[in-house]
Amino acid sequence: MATTRVSRTVAFGGGAVATLILAAALVGLQTHRTSRAWLDTASAEGLVRSSAFAKAVEVWLDRHQQETIRSVAEVMVSGHYLSVELVVEDTVLLTVGESERGTGSASIGESERPKISFERSGPQWTLDVSIPLPSNHGFVRTREDVTTSRAAMINAAFRVGALGIGCWAAFCGLAWGAAAWRRARGGLRGRDGAAADVSFGSDRISVLQVDRRAKSARLNGTPVRLSPKQFALLSLLASDEGRVFSDDAILHVVWPGSRYADSNDLRQCVYQLRRRLDAVVPGGARHVCNAKGFGYRLAAQLPIAADAPPEEEEERHALCERI
């Protein structure tokens, strides 16, 4: 029994550690996937915003409305944009905000395709987008602070992942607890399965199981034939293993409403019950113990020496009577 408990404890501890490791791995994977998805989303949204601004700039340049361009750029920088630059024919016409030194006059290449890149400086993430202006031989460059949107998306994904893992862990814990509770109750009252002998050093463990729903009892897996009164007595004692039930308490349950039942009837019922248990397993009568002067109690599991002589079994039985 002790070895079994240790094995179950080790198995449960290993399962708990494995669950924690798996949970951390799943949350990390979810966070990584969310980060990748955010890169794609932020790139697409930034490209749309910068492209719309670049189209408007081309119209304003054709109309020579440079002041309008500056006003709109200042509004953008007052929000979450870090800088807005306008380069035409390798000449910087406009720089608003915190532009990076030495990059204002850089071209975007001959491909005349938008360029998108992310920059990280400590906790800050910056989206750098350059949009070509083919009709004016230049480009518009915007630098946008996207730290907040990234943190919000990853935090949301982390919360969802942690909630899912937490629910899963709670379900596993409840399932394990229910299984442990069933095993514990099965050892006392018994369920449908038979109980075999359990190795315990050089001894055997005598296991008594009582199934109140099926109105049956088993001793080491062998059915015990009992009368209704005998089963009622055994079922009452098994309802709280180790508790001493007084004669009055037993008479009230086993002989309900009877005016004539007394302690003599109870002793006779105990005697017959012990005989039925002994008939199944020698020494099985010791499961029903007499607390002298107080009443009776049940021991659902008892070690029985495999090589104990009959005299020793009788002495143990007498000792149980005196307890």
CA–CA dist 187, 173 (Å, integer): 21
Q: What is the pLDDT of residue 196?
A: 34
In a domain, 158, yes or no: no
**In this prediction, what percent of the chain has a pLDDT beyond 70?**
70
**Look-up of token digits 């990059």:** 103
Does residue 298 share a domain with residue 239? yes
Does residue 145 share a domain with residue 203? no
In a domain, 175, yes or no: no
Nearest residue to 123 via CA among 151, 96, 100, 81: 151
In a domain, 75, yes or no: yes
Question: Confidence class of residue 191 from pLDDT cuts 50, 70 and 90?
Answer: very low
Q: Between residues 111 and 154, which one has the greater pLDDT?
A: 154
Q: What is the pLDDT of residue 8?
A: 56
pLDDT at 314 over 50: no
Element holding 255 (H helix, E strand):
none
Helix, strand, coil % (nearest 5) of the chain?
Answer: 55, 20, 25
Question: Measured between alpha carbons, how far apart are the two ends of the chain, in Å?
Answer: 24
Residue ending a domain, among 87, 121, 153, is: 153
**Look-up of token digits 């992310």:** 118
Q: The pTM is what?
A: 0.42
| C-alpha of 214 from chain center | 35
String of b and e for 32-53 (b: at least 16 CB within 10 Å)? eebeeebbeebbeebbebbeeb
Residue ending a domain, among 153, 180, 208, is: 153
Does residue 14 share a domain with residue 136? yes
Question: Confidence class of residue 192 from pLDDT cuts 50, 70 and 90?
Answer: very low
Q: What is the pLDDT of residue 206?
A: 83
In a domain, 182, yes or no: no
In a domain, 206, yes or no: yes
Q: Residue 248: which CATH number?
A: 1.10.10.10
Q: Edge-to-edge strand order for the sheet containing 91-97?
A: 91-97, 81-88, 138-145, 124-133, 115-121
Does residue 306 share a domain with residue 249? yes
Phi and psi for 242 in degrees, rounded to 5? Answer: 90, -20
In a domain, 244, yes or no: yes
Does residue 204 share a domain with residue 145? no
pLDDT at 172 over 70: yes
How many residues are listed for the chain in this entry?
323
Q: What is the pLDDT of residue 304?
A: 65
Element holding 119 (H helix, E strand):
strand 115-121
CA–CA dist 289, 285 (Å, integer): 8
Residue 60's domain spans which residues? 2-153
Kindly report which listed range (65-69, 300-304, 308-312) carries the lowest average pLDDT score. 308-312
Does residue 19 share a domain with residue 99? yes
Q: Residue 64: which CATH number?
A: 3.30.450
**Secondary structure tally for the chain: helices H, strands E:** 7, 12
In a domain, 180, yes or no: no
Q: Sign of the CA dihedral 52, 58, 59, 60?
A: positive
Does residue 203 share a domain with residue 138? no
Does residue 279 share a domain with residue 149? no
Domain count, the chain: 2
CA–CA dist 186, 218 (Å, integer): 12
In a domain, 166, yes or no: no
pLDDT at 306 over 70: no
- Mean pLDDT of the 293-321 span: 63
CA–CA dist 24, 166 (Å, integer): 11
Does residue 18 share a domain with residue 123? yes
- Mean pLDDT of the 60-89 span: 89
CA–CA dist 216, 62 (Å, integer): 98
pLDDT one-digit tens code per residue, 245-280: 999 999 999 998 888 889 899 999 999 999 999 999
Contact 271, 250 (CB under 8 A): no
pLDDT at 145 over 90: no
